[in-house]
A and B are shown apart, each in its own frame.
Chain A
Amino acid sequence: MSVARPQDIACRELVEILTEFLDGALDEHSRTQVEQHLVLCSGCAEYLRQFRATIGVTRRLSEQDLPEQMKESLLDAFRHWRHGS
């Protein structure tokens, strides 16, 4: 017999709804289930930490890489547009 109650969420289901959880898109009941599970389950607590950490590192990829040539030709287009041609 399962040690968990039937109405409790399992780890496999939890990892599937983490993005919804982080976006605040879960209904209250589901969100509470997730939170209660996180209190009980060190595995899922670690998984969530890693999920968040991954997003954090991904954010650092932000950099601007506009090729110089493109910059010049777009500025050209802008000037043309401004002068109504």
Chain B
Amino acid sequence: MPSATGDTGAEQPMRAWKFLGVGRVAPFGGHTWPAPGAAGPGAWVRFPGREVFACRPDDLPWWIGPELWEIELEGPIRALETQVAASAGRLVRQVHGWDAATLRAFGVACAERARNLAVEALGRDGRVEEAESLARARSMLELSRVARDCAGDARTRLSANLAGYVAESSMRASQGLAAAAANIAANAAVLAHGDPAVFSRARSWQARWIAEHAGLDLLPAAAV
């Protein structure tokens, strides 16, 4: 996939990915994308005066949805901060590796990462018992409860504040709200490192997790 910074001006179709609602429903427009068939990709979707948006691999964590599709975009492609825009697109194939179970596992993985940060922080603070109880919690629901207990003095202690983030992230993970869990976990990373730039690094980790677990077919030349 051509690197997408600025206009590629490319005339050949660009491959990208797109999250859709159940049944290929566009998440904001509400219309249904034509399915690919035996003959090949689905019909081109084109709106006068409106663009079609899609994800590069690094963009995926921002747009989590029930279905993940590989999409072909018609150039010229406009590169934006968290997506690309094109004049038209068509669905190529569904990424079946991304299903309800993977989505849920993604949320859990993000909350787990946040947990690890909080355990470390609590340990450094000398709050060993809390660190251990947090580390021991098994289900997301239990983690959420334990983390909330550790979050009491969030206003004064970083480690307690982090535990609060873990509580929020794991609660959402337990409800299957993976996108929210991931966002909170990325913010937790920022808090843990005290650096806003960490947010995009956390998102990159999340993007790689998705690519790996959903089995995204990334061409060697397109490796991000």
Contacts and interface: CB of A to CB of B under 8 A. Distances in A.
A–B touch (CB < 8 A): the answer is: yes
Nearest to A41: B180
Interface residues of A, number: 15
Interface in A27-78: 28, 32, 35-36, 38-42, 52
The secondary-structure label for the interface of chain A is helix
A5 B195 CA distance: 12
B179 A1 contact: no
Nearest to A28: B80
B27 A40 contact: no
B199 interface: yes
Contacts of B89: none
A38 B183 CA distance: 12
A17 B122 CA distance: 41
B24 to A, nearest CB: 17
Contacts of B173: none
Contacts of A36: 62-63, 82
Interface centre among B27, B28, B168, B196 (most CB of A within 10 A): B28
Q: Which 6 A-B pairs have the closest CB atoms?
A: A40-B180, A39-B179, A40-B183, A40-B179, A35-B28, A3-B187
Interface of B: 27-28, 30, 50, 62-65, 80-83, 161, 165, 168, 177, 179-180, 183-184, 187, 190-191, 196, 199
30 contacts: A1-B191, A3-B168, A3-B184, A3-B187, A5-B187, A5-B190, A5-B196, A24-B50, A28-B80, A32-B80, A32-B81, A32-B82, A32-B83, A35-B27, A35-B28, A36-B62, A36-B82, A38-B27, A38-B28, A39-B62, A39-B63, A39-B64, A39-B65, A40-B179, A40-B180, A40-B183, A41-B180, A42-B177, A42-B180, A52-B30
